[in-house]
Amino acid sequence: MNKLVLMTTLACALVCNAAWANDDKPVKPNKMATCNKEAEGKKGDERKAFMKECLSAKAPAADADGAKTKGPGSQQNKMKRCNEEAAGLKGDERKQKMSACLKS
């Protein structure tokens, strides 16, 4: 009887620990809910077109201060620009150029 109680308690502790560990994962925003909220006030074909575009769009990259942006200072645009500037370079020379460019 004591072994049964001990084993049950141990099993419950392991299950609860696993459940708590999953709570630490970041939650991804629900794209459908976000698009629905942005589409408020639109009706018919206008809403349909907006929802299609919104749901198919990729999420914008976060910039250095955490704000989401698609502008010229976004990480994606910066990487593209730096790759163009470092075209033709190889090895350490390319690494140094990319490092300096991405830091600016």
- Give DSSP secondary structure letters for 13-44: HHHHHHHHHHTTSPPPP-HHHHHHHHTTT--H
More confident residue, 2 or 26: 2
12 falls within a domain: no
Note whether 81 and 98 are within 8 A (CB).
no
More confident residue, 82 or 22: 82
Note whether 25 and 10 are within 8 A (CB).
no
Same domain for 77 and 104? Answer: yes
Same domain for 54 and 76? Answer: no
- Domain containing 87: what range? 72-104
Distance of CA 54 to the CA centre of its chain: 16
4 falls within a domain: no
Extract the tokens encoding 96: 């140094």
Number of domains in the chain: 2
39: phi then psi, degrees, rounded to nearest 5: -90, 5
The string of pLDDT tens digits covering residues 17-30 is 655 555 555 656 68
